[in-house]
Structure formats: C-alpha cells, structure tokens
A and B are shown apart, each in its own frame.
Chain A
Amino acid sequence: MEEILISVVQRTLVAGTPLLLGTVGEIISERSGILNLGVEGVMAVGAVTAFIVTHHTGNPWLGLCAAIIAGMLISMVHAFASVSLQSNQVVSGLALTMLGLGVAGLLGKPYVGKPLAIKINAMPIPILSDIPWVGPVFFNQSPFFYMAVLLAIGTWFLLEHTLLGIRIRSTGENPKATETQGVNVSMVRYLSVITGGGFSAMAGAHLSISYSKSWIEGMTAGRGWIVIALTIFALWNPMRAVVGAFLFGGIFVLQYMLQPLGISPNFLAMLPYMATLLVLLVGGLRDSRRLNAPAMLAEPYRRGDR
C-alpha cells in the first residue's frame, strides 16, 4: 500500500512537471498582456527538437538547450504578429499551434519508432532523497521537476518583488500608462512572449527526452490546452500554478488508474477545464478584481491611440 501511494505521488509530480513549465511560461506572457494560445504547438516543437538533437549528439542536455532556442524562435512569430502588427492574438496563437504541430510532425517523421539510447534520468539529491516518504517522492525526480519548481518560484519572485516584474505586470495592465513612464512596451512584450515560448519548449523536451525517450506525433496530447486553463486556474500566479499543475498532474495519473474500473478517461480529461471554470465562478462571484486577470490581456496596443 505504502509503495503504491509513493508511486502515485511520484508519478503525479512527473505528470505535473511539463504542465508547470508551460504554465509558468504562459503566465509571464499573459502578465505582459499577450495571450499565447500557441503553447501546444511550441511544446511539440520543443519535444521534437530535443529528440532530434539528442538523437544525433547523444547529449540530452544539448537537446534541451536546442529545444529552448527553437521554442523561443517559433514564439517570435506570435510576438511579431501580436505586438508589431497588433493582430488578433487568438487567431495568431491558434496559427502558432497549427504551425508548431505541423513542423514537429514533419521534422519528426523519420524518427518515429527509434527510441533514444540515452535520456535525462531521475537525479536523486544526496541526503535529502534518503528521508523516508518525502525523499523518494520529492528528491528523487528528474532534473526537469527541480527546474520547474525553481523556475516557478523564481518567476513569482520576479513578478512580485522586482522592478522588471512591475514593468511586466504594468504592461499587461495598462500599456499606455506604462509607456508614458518610459518603459518600452513592445520590448517587454517581445521578451515575455519569447521567454514563455522557451518554457513551453522545455515542457515539450521533458516529454521526449525524460518522461519517455521516443518521439511520437501528437505526444503533447493536449497538454498545451491544459496549460491555458491552468494559467487561469492559477489566477496568473506562479505559486498557485505549482499547486494547480500537480493537481492536474494527479488527474493524468488517475486517468490510467481508474480506467480499469470503468470510469471513462474522457470524464477525467474534462476535469481540469471544469476545475478552471469553477475557480472562475467562485472567484468571480466573490470579487472579480481579485481574479487578477491582466486588465489589457489580448488587447492590441498602438502608441498614440487615445
């Protein structure tokens, strides 16, 4: 029994890791006012890039770096469309998803069914991992897990306690006022979207070179959309994203466990979205301002507009 429990929690954390990475990235982007619905596509690009580079170099860390760079590059498409061209962010984000999924499928075709020789394995942290219960669950995880949690905390700190954070948040709240304070709104938004893309690509890399060690088309399996929901669920707060990501990760694990009991996996797949709606409902009924949504989210901004 004990073993099962530990393994369930452990797998929950593994499943939550890419969700957390993606969500933190999306939070940065949305806090600057840019809605990026391209997460699913960027994740796929990250996954395929990480896989291909690892496959050829034999170094998964190199694969991870390449994935991050690829994710940033492809996100620039969305940044350009929504910041420089002030186009509709929903349209441009959906286009990014299509583009990313397509590119990833194309590039990955030759690699389907060729597992990697090496992947990023669990990295037990000395001493800490020997603690009973807690050790194996929290401190015997893939480096992606540690990175995700640290990045979430780091992002929270950045947003709440640094000047740059105030600038990013101000940009999302009121780009016009922010610009009159001498902040380069376009630059802040570009940086936020690109950084967010890097995070999403990391999430993808986790799937292809750590969680599994193979590439299959469509392996992101809707995680990009869960990230969008999770960003709202977390009310744009990276700390709450940690809780949310592992909660939703738990649902993933449950999906496999409950299937034999005859509970439809579709029902469970629905839960993250239901939970998000519930949070919005409950939070919104109490005080909509407390929801914290960036006031100018998804609103194009052009200088000189009144």
Chain B
Amino acid sequence: MKKIETLEMINIYKSFQGVRANDNINLKVSSGEILGLLGENGAGKTTLMNILYGIYQPDAGEIRVNGHRISIDSPKASIDHGIGMVHQHFMLIQNHTVIENIALGYARAPMLFPQKKMRQSIVSFSEKFNFNIDPDKKVWQLSAGEQQRVEIIKALVNGAGLLILDEPTSVLTPQETRDFFHVLEKMRKDGQMIILISHKLDEIKKICDRVTVLRKGRVVGHACTEQMDKRSLARMMIGREVIFSFSREKMSRKEKVLDVVDVEVDGDKGYPVVNGISFEVYRNEIFGIAGVAGNGQRELVEAITGLRMVTHGRIRINDIDITNQSPRKIHNTGVSHVPEERIRFGIAPNLFLYENAILKQHHQKKFSRRAFLAYGRIKAHTRQLIKDFQVATPSINIQTKNLSGGNIQKLILGREIADKPDLLVASHPTYGLDVGATEYLRNQLLKRRAEGGAVLLVSEDLDEIFELCDRVAVIFQGKFMGILESDDSRIADIGLMMAGTKDLRTGEGADDSF
C-alpha cells in the first residue's frame, strides 16, 4: 500500500430515486491537512463520504489517489487504499463485545484467541484518548457516547492514511472531544489527512485547515478557516444569518410535573447504576442533566419513560404514580421521549415517513377510527410536521431509513414536541442537527417551556445546557453531585463536578477553597 499524498473526488454525481444527493461535487485533500465538510442536514455529506468509502457507487465521476484514478467498489477496496471511516450511524455489532467489534476490522488481529490477545492493546490504546470503556461489555450495554468512542477507536487502530470522520463528536463530552482533537492534530503532523464532518462550527473552526461547504448536493464554496468566523461559516452553509444566543426570560416556577423520589435502577449487567436519585421538574422549567456518558443518565431516562424497571423509589407525573408502568401508559400520562439512539429506539427504519410521524400516537382519536388508521389525517399531519420542522425529504411516502441522519432527528423531535407533552424527556436532542435546525429546536424547547411544559434535557453539550436550562443536575456514577440554579456561580465548575467532585463550596464568598 502506497501512502496517500493527495485524494481527489472529481465531478461526482449520485441520486436516489430522483433525489440528487450529490450533484457534480469536486473535492481535494492532501496529506497533513484536515478538511472540514460542512452542510445542512441532507446536503449530501454522508452520501459523498460513503462513495469514497465504497459503500455507494457514484452514478458518475472519479476518485484519484496521488493523481491516479482508482476504483473503489467495496469498503474493502477503500481500506486497502488506506482509508478509514467513523460512521455517522454507528457501525457496531450490538451483540458482540467491544473487543470483538474492534478485532473484526483490525488489520493485525491475531487469527487465534483474538479476544484474549487484543484486550491489553485495546485498553492501552483507549487510554491515549482518556476513553474509558470496558472492553468486555457488549455494545448494546453501552450508551451512545460510549459507542461513539468504540467507533473512533475502531477507525484509528488501523492507522489509516485518510481518515473520514462523519460527525465523530456528536455525543462526546467537551473534554473527550479535546483529547480526541489532540490525537487528530498529531496525526496531521505525521502527514495523515482527515476529512471531518461536524455541525459544531467551533470545532470546525478550531481544527480544520480548509472547509468545503455543500448545499442541496452541490459545492457552494471553499474557504480557509483562518479567514472565517463561526457566523460566516453558518451563513455559507444555510444562506442566512443564524442567531447563536437565546434570551431565556425568567419564569416563575409553577406546579410540579415530574417527581422522582429516591430512585434506583439496575443497569444491563444487573447491578445498580442509578443509586438513589431524587428531583422534581416543574412547569415552565427546563431541567438539565449533565454528565459523562455511562454514569446512569441513560438508565434514569429509561426508567422515567418506562423502558426499564425501577428497583426502588417512586416516579410521579402530575401526581400520578407511574413507577414501572408500561411505556404506553406513561406516554398517555403526558410524557414524550426523544431517545439517545435515534435509529434503534426513535424510529422504525423500514416504515414510511408518515407512519413514523405518529408512532406512539397512532391510537389517539385524531389518527384512528376504531381499529383503522385515518391515513388522510395522518398524512396531513405529517405534511405539517415536516414543514414546521423543515425535514428535508422528497416525499412522505419513503422509508424513513432513507432520510439523512439530521432529518431523522428532526422528524423525531417534531413528532414528540407536536404532541405537546407535559414532560418532554430529551436525550441529546440536537445530536446531528445543523446550526439552523439547532437554533429552531432550541426555540421550540423554549416555546414548550413558555407554554407550560416541563423539559428534562440530558446532554453532554454544556453550551446547550447553559443556554437552555433553568436548573442543572450533575450526574456521576448514578448519583447527583448537586443541583444548581442557572445563576449559581458554581456552574462554571460543572466540569469538575462531572468528574466526581461533590458540592463545590464556592458561591457565598468561599471562592478560595481550592
């Protein structure tokens, strides 16, 4: 395998059932360079990278490595040319352990006893990024953030000459992202090249040398990141100004919606991962839970939405006890849920878009008559939904799996918010959304709050938490390290609390305690 010095994609076309996903795209990267690939949801970024990785064949166009035309007819061919990829939707085998997942694609994996022989190297490799994951856990036991770390390790172990990163940091914590970027910077110094897709413009600005911007399948511009600021990047991407900060007017607390009392929940391995958590969420309030993935927030959310057994304690919604009730009952009580893994838990990928638009709500009067679905009304509702939430799709009569990642997310959010729940439980709601859609979504959450809804927001994105939440709880190893008001001065130290420091005693003039 020769080292890749330059890679060019020339005049690439690709359409799906009449959708032009890529329309005459040109792109070039050279070694020692990090190229950002920007574009709104559905612009065709993933499609383009899948062509480069051999998952799709372009309708027309060519790919050149070091000036020579090459054909990439399968992921294997692409790997053989020294290309590695972190996929937007995790390409992991749920029933296998982390080791088995990494061994599968590792070029130097031993033929015999790979599980035993690779453990040590995987552990030390992941320590380089400060990723701590249990290599013997099965992937389905991991949270989205942990899965993302596995996905990254998988792509990096082979030391690819060209690394494609399709939204690699969407569910990482800021600290993890920083560590990961240090590794990328080192790779750049070693002469590797990287294509990075991200909707987090700060990241793009920080690490990329150049950006290429796509809109509706076409290249709308190239730029050097040095000369651009976040605002101009956003403008280039979506063609209008984006507001990055919100005014969240103060609201007085109304009656209690969610009441969690001393709840304990077991994890997938059978031992407790939520250890006695109590809190309340009120009307007109957005309550945030911040924490590093894997500290029990997933299990807590699943317990509240009825997907997981509560072993101890009570959960009440509007004073109705819903502890260990069925998810449907809980949903009917007024709880909506935006799950952290959209493909696995948020949609039924093979169903049509209009069917997915009413999941969990199909039995409501407005969508059904006795045993029959009222398709007319369902479709009208869906059309309204995709208009309000700007879901980019050629039609509502396509299988939902064919939407781009961000558009699937918009659909889920639209479905859950349009239901006007008393309590909206949202995990990483802006995961994979472009800046325009993020802005819209945050406005929607604030609107829900203003209308009297309560929102429980779980996120590793601290900016999002700070911007939206009235109160923030920090979770660590299944316990709350503290609940802070948004004007609490200790909030600046939230990073420390996420790492397990309890109750920083700053605040009332005790700043010197460190």
Listed in ascending order, the chain A residues whose CB lies under 8 Å from chain B are 161-164, 166-167, 169-170, 173-174, 176-184, 289, 292, 295, 303-304, 306
Contact = CB atoms under 8 A, between A and B. Distances in A.
Contacts of B75: 179-182
A62 B164 CA distance: 53
A303 to B, nearest CB: 7
A306 B401 contact: yes
B3 interface: no
Nearest to A186: B74
B111 A289 contact: no
B364 interface: no
B92 A177 contact: yes
A81 to B, nearest CB: 22
Nearest to A306: B401
Contacts of B96: 166, 169-170, 173
Q: Determine the main DSSP class of A at the interface with B.
A: helix
A289 B269 CA distance: 12
B93 A174 contact: yes
Contacts of A180: 53, 55, 75, 85, 87, 91, 105
Contacts of A176: 91
Contact of B94 (A173, A178, A306): A173
B271 to A, nearest CB: 15
- In the complex, the 7 A-B pairs of residues with the closest C-beta atoms, listed nearest first: A181-B105, A177-B91, A182-B79, A182-B76, A306-B401, A173-B93, A181-B104
A158 to B, nearest CB: 10
Given A173-B94, A295-B94, A303 B104 contact: no
A166 B53 contact: no
A170 B104 contact: yes
Contacts of B92: 174, 177
B54 to A, nearest CB: 9
Interface string B57-84: 1000000000000000011100110000
B434 interface: no
B402 A306 contact: yes
Given A180-B55, A183-B104, A161 B79 contact: no
A134 to B, nearest CB: 31
Contacts, number: 82
A178 B55 contact: no
> Which of B74, B96, B104, B349 has the most C-beta atoms of chain A within 10 angstroms of its own C-beta?
B104
Nearest to B268: A289
B95 A166 contact: no
> Which of B79, B91, B109, B110 has the most C-beta atoms of chain A within 10 angstroms of its own C-beta?
B91
A289 B76 CA distance: 30
16 contacts: A161-B115, A163-B110, A163-B111, A163-B112, A166-B114, A167-B104, A173-B96, A174-B93, A174-B94, A178-B104, A179-B55, A180-B75, A181-B105, A181-B154, A289-B95, A292-B95
Interface residues of B, number: 33
B112 to A, nearest CB: 6
Contacts of A166: 96, 100, 103-104, 114
A306 B91 CA distance: 12
B440 interface: no
Contact of A162 (B76, B111, B402): B111
Interface string B354-386: 000000000000000000000000000000000
Nearest to A183: B104
B56 interface: yes
A267 B250 CA distance: 75
A144 to B, nearest CB: 28
A173 B95 contact: yes
Nearest to A167: B104
Contacts of B109: 163
B181 interface: no
Contacts of B105: 180-183
A54 B401 CA distance: 55
Given A166-B114, A181-B75, A289 B140 contact: yes
A168 to B, nearest CB: 11
B36 to A, nearest CB: 22
B93 A179 contact: no
Nearest to A169: B96
B113 interface: yes
A179 B74 contact: yes
A303 B55 contact: yes
> Which of A166, A183, A295 has the most C-beta atoms of chain B within 10 angstroms of its own C-beta?
A166
> Which of B87, B95, B103, B154 has the most C-beta atoms of chain A within 10 angstroms of its own C-beta?
B95
Nearest to A293: B95
Nearest to B349: A306
A166 B105 CA distance: 10
A295 B103 contact: no
Contacts of B110: 163
Nearest to B92: A177
A284 to B, nearest CB: 15
Contacts of B104: 166-167, 170, 178, 181, 183
A289 B140 CA distance: 10
A304 B87 contact: no
B76 A304 contact: no
Given A179-B55, A181-B75, 4 more contacts: A162-B113, A163-B114, A166-B100, A181-B79
